[in-house]
Amino acid sequence: MTMPRLGRLLLELLLVILVVGGIQAWRARDLLPADERTQAPPLELRDLDGRAWSLEQLAGKPAVIYFFAPWCGVCAASSPQLRWFQHWRGDDVGVVLVGLDYASPAELVEYARDHELGTPVLAGQPDTAAAYRVRGYPTYYVLDAQGRIAGRDMGVTTVAGLWLRTLGL
């Protein structure tokens, strides 16, 4: 490959990265801010067995809160990534999934079973989506050990992406 072709290829790659990054930033613009001051809103829901669950159960360690809809294809594609992430970081980082936009709790149970989720799955409510500004699926937040929002994003996620977002927390 000649130098001008390599230069053009690198320029095109940079342009693609900038466009994709810009679109991603635009999609996430309305999410809660990720800074050292923003505390995650309270999260007091029931898991799929009907047990009460709250953020205090994650106190003292970083966490990923993953909001999904059972009909969402991108959420389904991300499920194996979440399983692997929990397998590798499960002792260090809490992972909890919050189902939203479902017709019945049975739909969440079926989703959890079909995707072999080994992490708490909570039945979210419309006020949960409003508090976390969830307007699309999947949406996820990374919390530090004090429950502050350290990162947030929408769309597909990977083990590597989650790993990088939770490093140093």
CATH number for 65: 3.40.30.10
Strand partners, 54: 44
Structure tokens at 136: 């699309």
Nearest-CA neighbor of 43 among 105, 131, 108?
131
Instruction: Judge whether residue 42 has pLDDT over 90.
Output: yes
Query: Can you give 19-31 as a three-state secondary structure string?
Result: HHHHHHHHHCCCC
Rounded distance, CA 135 to CA 55, Å?
21
| Cα–Cα dist 146/61, whole Å | 7
Pick from 59-63, 70-74, 106-110, 123-127: least confident: 59-63
Contact between residue 67 and residue 139 where contact means Cβ atoms under 8 Å apart: yes
Which pLDDT does position 44 carry in this prediction?
94
Specify the range with the lowest mean pLDDT, choosing from 20-34, 52-66, 72-86, 149-163. 20-34
Residue 74 and residue 24 in one domain:
no
Same domain flag for 12 and 41 = no
**pLDDT surpasses 80 at 152:** yes
3 band by pLDDT with thresholds 50, 70 and 90? low
Question: In terms of residue numbers, what domain contains 16?
Answer: 1-30
User: Is 19 found in the same domain as 70?
Assistant: no
Same domain, 86 and 20: no
Is the domain of 155 the same as that of 136?
Answer: yes
Residues 154 and 85 in one domain: yes
Q: Residue 21's pLDDT band (boundaries 50, 70, 90)?
A: low
Tell me how crowded residue 5 is: count the other CB atoms within 10 A of its CB.
9
Task: Provide the terminal-to-terminal Cα distance of the chain, rounded to the nearest Å.
Answer: 42
Q: Within this chain, do residues 109 and 95 fall inside the same structural domain, yes or no?
A: yes
Residues 37 and 83 in one domain: yes
How many of the other CB atoms lie within 10 Å of CB of 69? 23
- Label residue 43 by pLDDT band (50, 70, 90): very high
Assess whether pLDDT exceeds 90 at residue 19: no
Nearest residue to 76 (alpha-carbon basis) of 94, 99, 47: 99
Residue 50: pLDDT band with limits 50, 70, 90: very high
Summarised one tens digit per residue, pLDDT across range 75-132 is 999 999 998 998 888 788 999 999 999 999 999 999 999 999 888 899 999 999 999 9
Confidence of residue 142 (pLDDT cuts 50, 70, 90): very high
Instruction: Report H helices in 71-135.
Output: 73-89, 105-114, 126-131
Q: What pTM was estimated for this model as a whole? A: 0.85
Residue 45: pLDDT above 90?
yes
pLDDT surpasses 70 at 23: no
Give yes or no: residues 88 and 148 share one domain: yes
DSSP H helices in the chain: 3-27, 73-89, 105-114, 126-131, 159-166
